[in-house]
Amino acid sequence: MDDVSGNISKRWNKHHVVYMSNASMPREMVEKEFCICFVTSSPHATPLELMNGVSKSVRKTMEEGVITWDCKYKTEVMLIAYNVFIAGDNPMQAEEFSHAGLHCNYFCRTCNVGGTNQEKMSDSGYMNLFEVPLAEIKKQVELAKLPGGTEKLKSAVASSGICDPVSMSIIDCLLELGKQLRKCKAGVPAKPEAEVQVQLEKEFELALGGLSLDDHINPLLGMPGVNIHQDTPTEILHTILLGIAWLESINKDGLNSPTLGAEYICHYKGGLIGKHFKSLAQVMPYLIYDLVPQHVLDGWTVIGELIVLLWHTAIDDVDEYLVSALMH
C-alpha cells in the first residue's frame, strides 16, 4: 500500500492504493505486471480504512476458504489466504503500525532504538523493544478522558512512539468534549469531575456505535497470519540515501581531493560547484558499471577523461581529444 498520483500529468493528485501479489510464485513471475493484482484505491479514504476492508476480506477466506479449480491436478481445491508481509515505504508502514514516525522519542517502528536522547546515548537505551501497542492505544483513549488530556496524550505519544490514526477520531472527540464540559463560565460553577466523566463515558459509548474499542483500532494489529511488527520489511531507499552509500563505498585514493563529500553532494545536489562535478564525472563509471548499457558507460568514461583534460591541459588538446572520442 502507498500513495500515488491519480493524474497522468505532473500535477500531484493524491490517491491511496492497495495491490496484492501471490507470494508463493517464483520471483521472476511475481514481479511481472500481470501477476500484480489491483485491490482498491481512493482519494478520500485513509490508508487504514482501506486496509480495514482488505483485512476483513482476508479474514473471511481464513474462515470459509475459496473453492477453485486446480488445472494441474484436475480437481477442486480450497484456498486459504493469509498475509506473508505488507510492503510499502517506511512512512506508510509506520502508519500501518500505528507508529508516530520520526517526531517522537521512539522513532523506529521495528528496532530497539528509542527513548529520550540521554537514554538513546546509553547502553541501557537499547534494551527496550516495541511490544504490541494495543494496550498503549487503549491507555491513550483513557488519557483523553482526563483533565489536561491533550498534554497527557502528547506525552504518551512522544514517550511510546505509538499513535493510532484509526482511534484518533474518537480520541479527538473526547478531548474536545472534555474541554467544553470543563470550561468555566462567568457566574456558573464548574461541573464536578465525576459528572464530566459520566458524560464522557456516554459520548464514548455513542462513538463506538455498539462495537467494542478493538473494532475502532488499527485492523492490522493482532490480525491472524501477520505480525505487523515483523512483517513490514524495512525499505532501504527511504532508510538511507543510496547515492550516499554508493559514493562512500568508492576508493578515493586515486582522487586529488581528500574527501569526495558524498553526504554533501547528495544533500545539496542542486547547488554543486565545479569540483563536485569533476569528482562525480571521474567516479561515475565505477558506480554505474553494472546498471547501464555499455554505450552509456563508455560515454561516462569519455566525460571523466575529458574533465581531467579541461582541468589540466590546453584547449587545443581538449579539442583534439574530443574529436577523437566522438569519432569512436
Summarised one tens digit per residue, pLDDT across range 22-81 is 888 888 888 888 999 999 999 898 888 898 888 888 888 888 999 999 998 999 999 988
- Give the other-Cβ count within 10 Å of 95's Cβ: 22
Contact (Cβ atoms closer than 8 angstroms) between residue 77 and residue 68: yes
Nearest to 48 by CA among 4, 9, 1, 13: 1
Q: What angle do CA 94, 221, 13 make, to 5 degrees?
A: 45
C-alpha cell, 150: 491533550
By three-state DSSP, how is residue 38 classified? strand
Contact (Cβ atoms closer than 8 angstroms) between residue 167 and residue 137: yes
Encode pLDDT of 222-278 as tens digits.
Answer: 777 777 767 777 666 555 555 667 777 777 776 666 667 777 777 777 777 877 888
pLDDT at position 78:
94
Q: What is the mean pLDDT of the chain?
A: 78
pLDDT at position 130:
42
Q: In which band, very low, low, confident or very high, does the pLDDT at 138 lie, cut at 50, 70 and 90?
A: confident
Q: Exposed, middle or buried, 2 (CB in 10 Å: 0-12/13-18/19+)? A: middle
Query: What CA–CA distance (Å, rounded) separates 123 from 115?
Result: 12
Q: In which band, very low, low, confident or very high, does the pLDDT at 131 lie, cut at 50, 70 and 90?
A: very low
Q: What angle do CA 69, 73, 74 make, to 5 degrees?
A: 50
% pLDDT > 70, the chain: 77
Weakest-pLDDT range from 40-44, 96-100, 141-145, 214-218: 96-100
Query: What CA–CA distance (Å, rounded) separates 143 from 291?
Result: 53
CA distances from 166 to 29, 64, 90, 214 (A): 35, 27, 18, 10
42 vs 212, higher pLDDT: 42
Helix (H) or strand (E) holding 172: helix 168-182
100 vs 45, higher pLDDT: 45
Q: Look at residue 125 and tell me whether its pLDDT is greater than 60.
A: no
pLDDT at position 129:
39
Contacts 24+ apart (CB under 8 A), 11-20: 13/43, 14/43, 15/41, 15/42, 15/43, 16/41, 16/42, 16/43, 16/45, 16/46, 16/47, 16/50, 17/41, 18/50, 18/51, 18/54
Nearest to 247 by CA among 222, 272, 228, 230: 272
Question: What's the gap between Cα 227 and its chain centre?
Answer: 16
